[in-house]
Chains A and B, each alone.
Chain A
Amino acid sequence: MTEKEEFVEELSGLLEDNATELKKQWVKEMTEMGLLEKLSSLEIEQQSTAIYDTCVLTIKTGMYEAAKKYAREMAKKGVLEAMTVDQIIMGMLKLRDVYGRFIFYKYQKDVEKLYKVLGVYEPVANRILSIVALAFVEEREMKITDQQQAMLTLSTPVLQIRDQILVLPLIGTIDSARAAQIVEQLLNSIVDTQASVVIIDITGVPIIDTAVANHLIKTIQAAKMLGADTIITGISPANAQTLVTLGVDLSMMTTRGSLRSGVKLADEMLKLVVMEKR
Chain B
Amino acid sequence: MKEPTIVGFLCNWCSYEGADRAGDARLEYPANIRTVRVMCSGRVEPEFVLHAFREGASGVLILGCHPGDCHYKMGNYKARRRISLLKKTLEQLGIEPERVRLDWVAAGEGERFAKVANEMADTIKGLGPLELS
Partners in one complex: no
Binding site for A on B (CB under 8 A): none
